[in-house]
Every structure is written in C-alpha cells, then in structure tokens.
Structure 1
Amino acid sequence: MQKILLVVNSAPYGNESCFNALRLTLMLLEEHQHEVELKLFLMSDAVVAGLQGQAPNEGYNLQQALEIITGFGAVVKLCKTCTNARGITALPLVDGVEIGTLAELADWTLKADKVLSF
C-alpha cells in the first residue's frame, strides 16, 4: 500500500490549483483505491474549501469533492493555525473533514511514500 500525502495551499475558488489537487485525489481513489492510503492536508487559504454550505453558481463544487474523498475513507484535515487566522475554526465543516495540526502534518510527511504540494 503506497502512502500519499497531498498538501494544498491554494484558495478554493479563483484558480484551479485546489480543484486540480482534489481531482487528482479523486482519480487516485477511484482507480487505485486498494493500492493507496491517501491523506489530504489543507493549509493557508485552501482551508476555506473545508467549510459546509458551498454553493458556487457554476463550475466545480469542492464541498462535493471533499465529501466523495472522505467517503472513500481518505483522511482530510484543515490546518488549525490557518483556520484560526481566518476566524473559521468554529464554523461547520464538510462531513468527514476535521481540524488538524502542524504536528500531524509533520508526522504524515515522515510516514508518506510521496508528498505532493499544490
């Protein structure tokens, strides 16, 4: 089982970096579910993607993507320092998404076979 960590820093809407990270995550889970253990850590402005109630007028919906990703059993965490800085730590999160710490990210990084950053 290959351990893959994706670290996302980009804002959820406005450019496609965050979206592309989630697209890759979904493809890895859909096509290689039994071959990978996947963890996703959202930092900086990417933490906003973990909030419930997203309703973009058109295009992609990151809330739906995260719900599918956590439904596959992937672990998804938002940086606590980053959510605190944006005043969103106490807001409702997408089902399956949790607040995480830099210490957890450090541990995940050491245990990962591959680390991808977006």
Structure 2
Amino acid sequence: MKLLIIINDAPYGTEKAYNALRIANQTNKDFPETEVCIFLMADAVGCAIANQNTPNGYYNIERMLKLSLNKGTTLKLCGSCMDARGFKIDNMLDGAELSTMAELTQFIAESTQVLTF
C-alpha cells in the first residue's frame, strides 16, 4: 500500500500539520509495510525548516518529521512554494527533497490512499 499525505497549512497556528504527522507516524508504526510519502505545499513547506525551537510542552513539527523520515517516509517539498517564500533547501531537514507538480501528480496516481490537510 502507498499512502500520500499532502499538507498545505503552516507548521503552527492550526493543528493540521500536527495531525497529519500523527497519522504518518502511526501508520509507520502499525503498518511498516506501507510506503508513506509526505508532500508539503504552500505554507506547509515551513514544516521542514531545520532547527525549530518550540516552547517546552509544545509539539515540534521538525521532530515529528524526523521520526517519519527515520521510519522510511519520503518527504517532498513543492519547489515553487519554496521559491515564493524565499526558502532554500539548505535550510531544510536532511532528507527533504525539492519536488514538482508533475512528481506530485505521479504520486497521486500511484498511491492507494491520498489524505490532504
């Protein structure tokens, strides 16, 4: 099975990215044979910024993404969304890869399930 999770919202402010990553990490734990891909678009590309420092007791999107990556999740970032926000891949988590709409549409076509947040 292939699971594609598309996140559009910023890492903090709503809990959409948080909940999407909870699902990704639970899937990795309970169904390790499932291929998980996370595609960050729009303000969600900020989820992959390295060295996030959140207050104690507050969830940390960077740590959640690292956990997913360590379990084999593929992490793709929309290149045009990155450019629009002035983000550079050098400032992103190790393992994050720039991507395109063409690659996203291929992931959608190949996926068994697609979730959007």
Please classify the TM superposition score into its range, dividing by the shorter chain length.
over 0.9
Number of aligned residues? 116
The runs of 4+ residues in structure 1 deviating greater than 3 Å are: none
Q: Deviations over 1:59-105 (max 9, x none)?
A: 11111111111111110011001000000024421121111111110
Equivalent position amino acid for 1:24 in 2: I
Equivalent position amino acid for 1:17 in 2: K
Aligned counterpart, 1:42: 40
Q: How far apart are residue 30 of structure 1 and its match?
A: 0.8
Equivalent position amino acid for 1:50 in 2: A
Query: What secondary structure sits across from 2:22 in the alignment?
Result: helix
Aligned counterpart, 2:105: 106
**Unmatched 5+ stretches in structure 1:** none
Aligned counterpart, 1:5: 4
Query: What secondary structure sits across from 1:39 in the alignment?
Result: strand
Indicate whether 1:51 and 2:49 are aligned: yes
Aligned counterpart, 2:81: 82
Q: Is the 8 A contact 2:5 2:38 kept in 1?
A: yes
RMSD of equivalent CA atoms: 1.0
The whole-number CA distance in structure 1 between the counterparts of 2:3 and 2:89 is 28
Q: Is the 8 A contact 2:89 2:98 kept in 1?
A: no
Q: Is the 8 A contact 1:79 1:102 kept in 2?
A: yes
**Unmatched 5+ stretches in structure 2:** none
TM-score (norm: length of structure 2): 0.95
TM-score (norm: length of structure 1): 0.94
The whole-number CA distance in structure 2 between the counterparts of 1:113 and 1:69 is 19
